[in-house]
Copies of this chain bind each other. A is one copy, B any other.
Amino acid sequence: MKRKDMLGLRDSTAEEIGLILDTAARFRSVSERRIKKVPTLRGRTIVTAFFEDSTRTRLSFDVAAKRLSADTLGFSASSSSTKKGETLMDTARNLDAMKPDAIVIRHPCAGAPHMLAQAFPWSVLNAGDGINEHPSQALLDMLTMRDHLGSLAGRTVAIVGDVYHSRVARSNLYGLPKVGARVLLAGPGTMCRPQMARPGVELLHRVDDVLAEADVIMMLRIQRERLAPGMMSTSREYARFYGLDLERLERARPEVLVMHPGPINRGVEMSPDVADGDRSVILEQVTNGVAVRMALMYLLLGGEPLPPGGDDAAAS
């Protein structure tokens, strides 16, 4: 891969996305072994810099780095110099002086990872910036879809809920049309806005309108912490109009895939029987997250495309 950073799918090509997914599929087997480790990134330093709380994403990147034998260093905003008023650029200059190979960053400001990527020689992996992108999550979504559907070309993906505040949704809105998928959006008017429509992306608002056509239904998390007052009525009302329960799911295609980026508000976006039901691939998404992050670290830090072949080739 030519690029040194993964900032978002907005400026990624279909070829790059394909390479990442192919590589991730090859790395998947490492996590299935008894000794879950390859020496690929031994002696490389990867910093996880989370300026917003996170468990699953931080852990997933951390697991990925360790399975590639990299040294990982973490810091979070709560214990950092940012509390002493340091700017992000000064924090980054200090990290730079410690000679990292890559930095995984989550930051409340959209564009923060892009600023660092331009300024510094190391790789930047965007783990979520403001309400902009969260590309590794969209890539693991695509890997999960590809596992079940084969090619994504011509497939229909419904994204339901708070599209406006979701960086995962935004990354999927950029990425899915590039690989030939059609995206249908549904959600309250405050969260699904007309300007989101573009070639390959249609706005429908009503969940029931998107269900019949979808190969994949991606339910988004209601992020109460990001909602201005008045943007949403009660959870109960939300569940009634936009939540996915078994009754609603019956109107979808029998082979539809149900996805969610987690953590789930059970009973709001999705009823428990759907979350844990046989159409749900939510936990496959998490497993694929480790593989996609291994692939990103491998490729961004200069790894050659792996030859086609069995998963085991990733061990070399």
Contact = CB atoms under 8 A, between A and B. Distances in A.
A79 B53 contact: yes
Interface stretch (A93-101, A121-129, A239-247): A93-101
B55 A62 contact: no
A64 to B, nearest CB: 9
Interface of A: 31-37, 42-45, 47, 53-56, 58-60, 62-63, 66-67, 71, 73, 75-76, 78-87, 90-91, 93-99, 101, 262-266, 283-287, 289-290
Nearest to A50: B79
A45 B71 contact: no
A56 B262 contact: no
Contacts of A86: 262-264
A264 to B, nearest CB: 6
Given A34-B44, A47-B59, 12 more contacts: A31-B98, A35-B42, A36-B71, A45-B63, A62-B73, A78-B79, A90-B262, A91-B263, A94-B283, A96-B283, A97-B287, A98-B290
Contacts of A99: 31-32, 36, 287, 290
Nearest to A95: B59
B98 A80 contact: no
A4 B31 CA distance: 19
Given A36-B43, A36-B45, A37-B71, A56 B286 contact: no
B59 A264 contact: no
List of 4 A-B pairs having minimum Cβ-Cβ separation, nearest first: A35-B43, A97-B286, A37-B43, A86-B263
